[in-house]
Amino acid sequence: MAQSFSSSRRTEVLHEMNGAQFDLLIIGGGITGAGIALDAATRGMKTALVEMQDFAAGTSSRSTKLVHGGLRYLKQFEVKMVAEVGKERAVVYENGPHVTTPEWMLLPFHKGGTFGRFSTSIGLRVYDFLAGVKRSERRTMFGVQETLAKEPLIKREELKGGGYYVEYRTDDARLTIEVMKEAVAQGAKAVNYTKVEELIYENGRMIGVRATDQLDGKVYEVYAKKIVNATGPWVDTLREKDHSKKGKMLQLTKGIHLVIDQLRFPLKQAVYFDTPDGRMVFAIPRDGKTYVGTTDTFYDTDTAHPKMTLADRKYVIDAINYMFPDVKINVNDVESSWAGVRPLIYEEGKNASEISRKDEIWQSESGLITIAGGKLTGYRKMAEMVVDLAAGLLKEEGHGTYPPCKTKTWPISGGNVGGSANFPAFIRTKTEEGLAYGLTREQAEKLVRTYGSNIDRIYEYIVQHGREAKANGLPLDVFIRVFYAMEEEMAAKPVDVFIRRTGALFFNIGWVHQWKEPVISYMAKRLRWSAEEKKKYTIELETQLHDAVVPMDEKNGNNKFAM
C-alpha cells in the first residue's frame, strides 16, 4: 500500500512507525538509503527509513551532478569499478530520463598535460568497452581545430587535440527525491528530520532505534529485523554508537563547485580538464549558468555544513583562468557555490584525489549492516548488494524468502515516460497540455522536464489549488512547485524547497531572493508554523544564501587556510 509523503502528514507517519517492527530499517536518506528503500520495498519487505536532515541534504545534493563512469579511476586501475558503474549510467538514465540526460564531454589535451593523444584515445576506448557504451555514444578523437570548434574558450597554447565522449548529467537531489518517492509509493515509510540518538539491543543484537524528531523534539522507537547504516559521512559515528568502529574506517574529503552566469562564462560545451597540479576538474553549462568543480581536499570539520573557503574559491577560479584564459573570471563573477563531503574508505598514504571510490559492506557483531564508500552512479547496484545480504539473513533466520532485485528496469517516480527515446515526444505533448492550465510554453516545458510523468499530478493540483497562487503573491509556476514539494515530496522547510526540490539556491539564486518571502509566508500558513518557527526557518535560509556566496574565511575574519 502506498504511504503518504506529504509534509503535513509527516508526524502521522512517525506515529505509525513508532513501536512497529519492520523487516528492514534504513538509517540515512541520501541516494544510497533511498536506493535501498526502493529495492527492499519492491521485493515486498516491510521497509522504513529515517533521515536526520532533509533527504539528500548531505553528499547527495552536493556532488558534481554527474552520473559518470569514473574515467579517471582507470588511471588507478579500478577496472572492475569503472565497468560496474559505467554500465549503471544507462540504467539510471532509462529509469528516470527526466532527472538524467546524456552530456557530451570534451577532454582537451595539451603538451605536458596529464593526458596525451595516445593515452586519451586508449583510455576512452577502454572506457567505452568497460562501460558497454552504445555505438552512437562512443568516443571520437579530435584535432586542434575540431577541439576549438566544440569549445572556442579552451586554451589554445600547446593544444594538441581532444577526446569526445558521453557522460550523464543529473540533478542529484531530485534523483534522490524521485527514488525515495517511488520507494514510498511501493509501501516504504520514510521521514526526514528524524535523528537516531540511541540504538536498542536485545541479547547483544540490535533490534531497533530511538530517534528524535528534529522539528518538535518528540522521541520515537522503531524496530526492525535488520538495520542498515547508510549514513554516508556519518557511517563511523553510527558505528561508534554500536561499538563496532574497528578495522576499516572513513576518510572524508571535501569538494566545492562555483556557479557563474553564462554572460560572463559562455561555455558551449561540457569540458573535463586537468589543472597544473594534475587534478581533474569539470566545467559544465546548465540552465544559463556554468558550474565548475571539484576540489579534492581532506576534511575533518563540520560534516553537516561544509563550506567554501577562500582557498577553495581561489583554486577553482585559477583553474578556470588556466584552461579558459580569455574569460578572466574573478571573485565578483561567482554567483553561488556549494561544498560537499565525500565519504571514502581510508587508504594509508594516498592523497584525497587518489583514494578509491569503491563501496564496501560491513556487518557488526550486533547485526548492523553498514554500506560505505561508493559513488552516486552506483547507487542502485549498492542497494542490490545490501538488500541481497539482508534477504539472505532474513531467510536464514526463518523470516521468509524474498525475490531477487527488480530495480534494473523499474522506473523511478516521474520516470514513466515511455522510455528515454520517447521522452522528447512526451515533453512536447505535455507542454501543449500545460498551456490549457494557464502556464506559458516556457513554464510548462520546464515543469514537464522537471517532473516527468508526475506532470499529470502537477496539472491536477493546478486545477484544485491554482487560484491560491495569486492570493499568496506567487506566480502560478512558482506556487505549484512549492505546493507539490510540500504535498508530494515532504519538503518541511524553505531550505528544502529552494535547495533540494528546485536547486534554485545553486543555479538561480536571484529567483530565491525574489520569491523567498511569499514562499516562506505560504509554507508557514499551510504547515501552521508558530512565529518562532517561521523566524528560525527564515534565518536558516538566509544563512544558506550567505554561505553560498561568502567564503568561510571572509565571514569569520580568518584568512589562514591550508590546501
Q: What is the rounded average pLDDT for all residues in the chain?
A: 91
pLDDT for position 559: 35
Distance between CA atoms of residues 147 and 250, nearest Å: 40
Omega of the bond leading into 42 within 30 degrees of 0 (cis): no
Cα atoms found within 13 Å of the Cα of residue 473, Cβ hemisphere only: 10
Task: For residue 253, give the nearest of 342, 373, 355 by alpha carbon.
Answer: 342
Residue 348 has pLDDT above 70, yes or no: no
Q: Do domains 101-168+251-345 and 420-549 have the same CATH topology?
A: no
Q: Where are the domains of the chain?
A: 7-59+173-249+357-409, 101-168+251-345, 420-549
Question: Given CA atoms 379, 380, 386, 390 in this order, what sign does their dihedral have?
Answer: positive
Say which CATH superfamily domain 420-549 falls into: Alpha-glycerophosphate oxidase, cap domain (1.10.8.870)
pLDDT for position 72: 63
Say which CATH superfamily domain 7-59+173-249+357-409 falls into: FAD/NAD(P)-binding domain (3.50.50.60)
Question: Does residue 256 contact residue 314 with C-beta atoms inside 8 Å?
Answer: no
Q: What is the CATH number of domain 101-168+251-345?
A: 3.30.9.10
Distance between CA atoms of residues 447 and 358, nearest Å: 35
Q: Could you read off the pLDDT of 304-320 as tens digits, one per residue?
A: 788 889 999 999 999 99
Q: Could you read off the pLDDT of 452-505 as tens digits, one per residue?
A: 999 999 999 999 999 999 999 999 999 999 999 999 999 999 999 999 999 999
pLDDT for position 563: 29
